Amino acid sequence: MTKLSTIIAASLLSIGLASPVQAADSEIKWKMQSAYPGGLVQLGASGKYFASQLEVISGGNMKVKFYEPNALVPALEILGAVQTGSIDAGWAAAGFWAGKVPAASFFGSVPFGPNAGEYMAWLSYGGGQEIWDELYKPLGVKGIACGMLAPESSGWFRKEIKSLTDLKGLKMRFYGLGAKVMEKHGVSTQLMAPGDIFPALERGTLDATEFSQPAIDLKLGFYQVAKHYYFPGWHQQASLLELLVNLEKWNALSDTQRSQIDTVCSANMQLTLAEGEAIQFDALATLEEKGVNIHSWSNEILAELQKSWNEVVVEESAENADFKRVWDSLSAFRAKYSKWNSVGYLK
């Protein structure tokens, strides 16, 4: 060996010895409490899909165990359990935490809000995810959009609603920011976990309810108690499913592991949206066969509801700086998006 080759070989050896050895990612085993039954189309099924696909894409390195509702904690207590680390993750929707974090509702659904494409655009390219992260950081949790639902219905009623005055005095399960709109029209609203709704309707504890899409509502059997079903879902034209992760455990993941979670959630967004658009028409036909009356709100009623929503925004923004910040961000994005929306889409 020449003197030069000896020097080169020694140098390469020293570089190799000095380089850090790439450690294998630590195996992850998480407990994930779901707010939705695993057998419930879209809502629960997508949580189970997330868990199974993450194990596949990680080569078995990341295992997330899906727990049925109430197996570890009640649905409305998932946030607190993830905060403390007593469970690693939750599968729910951000609107469930509105009582503790009013602005979180914007990351579940928005009354008269964006459709799915515009919603995702704001999250990914309009600053939405950054604000979501900043909102949740003090709580010690990370929120990730991991499912996207097509438009929902806006309510099941025992009697036909001919005007907004017919809503006055009703006790109704209602989700998210839309509940505040209904309260302006004399409705007493409460948020209930999915499994509690039908028994409450059956007993008369509730007079009415909204929950989700026709295919999901059909599964829950609301048609057995109420026969008047209203559209469009003005309060949920698009809805996000949330993967909630303890922030310390999220930060402890490798870049590869975080990327794997993001990848599976992106796929889940596409799949839930596509499936949701594909299964509603058959569900509607089945509901009609069961004697359900499908109604559409009049333009006049929708205009009144939107007027009430605008009042809610002003009131909530005045009371909560985070609420105002999220609303200002979304509104600014939508104002810019409206130009594209006006020329790019058929009306």
Domain with 194 in it: what CATH number?
A: 3.40.190.10
Q: Is residue 333 part of a domain?
A: no
Q: Is residue 337 part of a domain?
A: no
- Quick check: 1 pLDDT over 80? no
Residues 83 and 101 in one domain: yes
Length of the chain: 347
Are 185 and 164 a contacting pair, CB within 8 Å?
A: yes
Residues 164 and 285 in one domain: yes
Q: Considering 248, 263, 278, which residue would you say is the last residue of a domain?
A: 278
At residue 23 the predicted structure's pLDDT band, cuts being 50, 70 and 90, is low
Q: Considering 227, 248, 278, which residue would you say is the last residue of a domain?
A: 278
Residues 202 and 271 in one domain: no
Distances (CA, A) of 122 to 92, 157, 165, 195, 258: 21, 34, 36, 32, 21
Per-residue pLDDT at 8: 38
Residues 255 and 131 in one domain: yes
- Going by their DSSP bridges, the two strands 171-173 and 89-92 should be labelled as unpaired
Per-residue pLDDT at 292: 98
Residues 243 and 258 in one domain: yes
Residues 64 and 191 in one domain: no
Whether the predicted model's global pTM rises above the 0.85 cut: yes
Residues 270 and 306 in one domain: no
Residues 219 and 130 in one domain: no
What is the percentage of the chain residues whose pLDDT exceeds 90? 91
Per DSSP, helices labelled H in the chain are 3-18, 43-57, 78-84, 116-125, 128-136, 178-183, 194-203, 214-220, 247-251, 255-278, 280-289, 299-319, 321-344
pLDDT tens sequence across 73-109: 999 999 999 999 999 999 999 999 999 999 999 999 9
- Quick check: 17 pLDDT over 80? no
What interhelical angle do 116-125 and 321-344 show, nearest 10? 120
Per DSSP, helices labelled H in 19-42 are none
Per-residue pLDDT at 12: 37
101-116 CB burial, b ≥16 within 10 A, e <16? bbbbbbbbbbbebbeb
Q: Is residue 340 part of a domain?
A: no
Q: Is residue 9 part of a domain?
A: no
Per-residue pLDDT at 10: 42
Residues 201 and 307 in one domain: yes
At residue 14 the predicted structure's pLDDT band, cuts being 50, 70 and 90, is very low
Residues 183 and 198 in one domain: yes
Domain with 120 in it: what CATH number?
A: 3.40.190.170
Q: Is residue 101 part of a domain?
A: yes
The one-letter code for the residue type at 183 is E
- Mean per-residue pLDDT for 3-9? 40
Q: Could you give the 3-state DSSP secondary structure of residue 170? A: coil
Residues 193 and 312 in one domain: yes
Q: How far apart are the C-alpha atoms of 51 and 25, rounded to whole Å?
A: 18
Residues 125 and 262 in one domain: yes
Q: Is residue 211 part of a domain?
A: yes
Q: Considering 278, 306, 331, which residue would you say is the last residue of a domain?
A: 278
192 against 16, higher pLDDT? 192
Domain that holds residue 140: 28-148+238-278
pLDDT tens sequence across 199-256: 999 999 999 999 999 999 999 999 999 999 999 999 999 999 999 999 999 999 999 9
- Quick check: 21 pLDDT over 90? no
- Counting the structural domains of the chain, the total is 2
